[in-house]
Amino acid sequence: MQIHRLLIVGDDIYPFRFEDETWAFASRCRPSLDEFHFEDVPAYPLVPDMSHGIGRKLTGGKVVGNCLLPSEYRGEQGWVTCDFENGNPEEVKRRVLSRWAEFGL
């Protein structure tokens, strides 16, 4: 009852890192096509949009976002994650990290 948004993510997403969840939601969950809305379920009325929004206060307001790519259903990951950790050679990462404070980060 207390959860109003649930994201389904793949094995490459660490669910307890806000950055990973946000990235998965923004890059893998297509609005409407990958979202499943539930309005005939008990709501959690303490969520502000439930008690002050346009819908009913005691039902609905639940959505499941599918952040899985089609190949993940077959247990495949046919892509390379392109971020600092996975998309750069060790030498580049070492040089950047050694100057991190110099960059003001």
Q: Which superfamily, per CATH, for 5-76?
A: UbiD C-terminal domain-like (3.40.1670.10)
Cβ atoms of residues 67 and 9 within 8 Å = yes
Cβ atoms of residues 35 and 66 within 8 Å = yes
Instruction: Categorize the per-residue pLDDT at 33 as very low, low, confident or very high, splitting at 50, 70 and 90.
Output: very high
What is the rounded CA–CA span in Å between residue 75 and residue 85? 23
pLDDT of residue 9: 95
pLDDT of residue 57: 84
pLDDT of residue 38: 94
Residue 25, burial from CB neighbour count under 10 angstroms (0-12, 13-18, 19+) = middle
Cβ atoms of residues 14 and 50 within 8 Å = no
| Chain segment 63-100, per-residue pLDDT in tens | 999 999 988 989 888 777 778 888 899 999 999 999 99
| Chain segment 1-27, per-residue pLDDT in tens | 788 899 999 988 999 999 999 999 999
Beta bridge partners of 7: 65
